[in-house]
Amino acid sequence: MRVFSACRVQAFTVILSLLIPMMGFDVSVHAAKLGLASAWLFEENGGKVVKDIVSGNDGEIKGTLKWAADGKFGGALEFAGKGDSYVRIDHDEVFNADTYTFVAWVKLEAASWQYVVWRNGDVWPEPEDVRHLDIWIHDADYPVFMWHVKGKEGRIDGKTIVADGEWHHIAKIYDGKNVFMFIDGKLDGEKPSGGTLDTSKSPIWIGARPGNVAATGLFDEVGFFTEALSEDELNDVMENGLAGYAAVDATGKVATTWAALKARR
């Protein structure tokens, strides 16, 4: 009986050792830090798909975008200011989160009216005023955040010029009661939301909106968290990148990241 029990234990150990790496892939969404739900790092360097390293909400490149090697962290995606050229991400209910933080590194050229992210349908004018996530660049080169609560518009106009050919980190934080604009890790504007933000089943557009308003420049490290990050947390994300926040910790002892997993392939 002792021999049989020992064999059984050994077999179980072997099976468990084989399952743990597989579990890492299964639990990655739940193990992501600070509620990171999706992260698009633009490291593919080719093709028409932008991978979401956290939850598989991959984006599809529309039109003619270019892969670039000189991103903020590794590669990037270059937008040429064309309304038909953007990244489209299908709807997922996670993007209707009651609280959230959206982040992106951008290096934009001065141009008339640009878009960072749009989420209110594939046509313009929009059929309903239900903006949940909306960031654009004014003709005067500063950022503007917009949202809707029961169809009523909320808006923050930033003070910092971001379309100047330099890298800038843009973050929109919604804590359920207030909307905060952070530029390069510093508060640039805030307003009460006016209530719970309206939701929809709209896709996400990165780099453009319908109606031929588009970005001119580079994008890198776009992410969506289901938590309202603190200023310290946001600055850590900004300085260290998103890959470390997509951590997998299946055993409680060994942690790895999707970036590392990808590098091993």
Contacts of 252 (CB under 8 A, 6+ apart): none
Report the percent of the chain where pLDDT is more than 90: 80
What's this model's pTM, rounded to 2 decimal places?
0.84
DSSP per-residue string spanning 121-149: -SSSS-SS---SSEEEE-TTS-EEEEEEE
Taking 60 as the threshold, does the pLDDT of residue 13 lie above it?
no
Contacts of 194 (CB under 8 A, 6+ apart): 149, 152, 154
**Residue 24: which pLDDT band, with cuts at 50, 70 and 90?**
very low
Taking 70 as the threshold, does the pLDDT of residue 250 lie above it?
no
Q: Give the β-pairing of 100-108 and 66-68.
A: unpaired
pLDDT at residue number 156: 98
pLDDT tens for 50-62 read 999 999 999 999 9
Query: Which residue segments constitute the domains of the chain, with CATH numbers given?
Result: 36-264 (2.60.120.200)
DSSP summary character for residue 191? E
Mean pLDDT value across the chain: 87
pLDDT at residue number 260: 39
pLDDT at residue number 249: 45
65 or 264: which leads in pLDDT: 65
pLDDT at residue number 168: 98
Question: C-alpha angle 169/205/258, rounded to 5°?
Answer: 65
Q: Give the side-chain half-sphere CA count within 13 A for 149.
A: 14
Question: C-alpha angle 198/62/48, rounded to 5°?
Answer: 115
Q: Is 96 helix (H, G, I), strand (E, B) or coil?
A: helix
DSSP summary character for residue 47? S
Inter-residue contact 143 to 162 (CB < 8 Å): yes
pLDDT tens for 67-93 read 999 999 999 999 999 999 999 999 999
Taking 60 as the threshold, does the pLDDT of residue 254 lie above it?
no
pLDDT tens for 180-230 read 999 999 999 999 999 999 999 999 999 999 999 999 999 999 999 999 999
Q: Is 174 helix (H, G, I), strand (E, B) or coil?
A: strand
18 or 164: which leads in pLDDT: 164
Residue whose C-alpha is closest to residue 169's, from 135, 120, 214, 119:
135
Q: Which tokens in the block code for residue 149?
A: 């609560």
pLDDT at residue number 103: 98
CB atoms within 10 A of CB 15: 10
pLDDT at residue number 128: 94
Inter-residue contact 215 to 207 (CB < 8 Å): yes
**Residue 247: which pLDDT band, with cuts at 50, 70 and 90?**
low
Taking 60 as the threshold, does the pLDDT of residue 234 lie above it?
yes
| Residue 106 phi, psi (nearest 5) | -135, 145
Per-residue CA distances from 16 to 24, 66, 247, 263 (Å) = 12, 44, 21, 24
**Residue 4: which pLDDT band, with cuts at 50, 70 and 90?**
very low
Q: Give the β-pairing of 134-137 and 114-118.
A: antiparallel
What mean pLDDT comes out for the span 132-152? 98
Report the percent of the chain where pLDDT is more than 70: 81
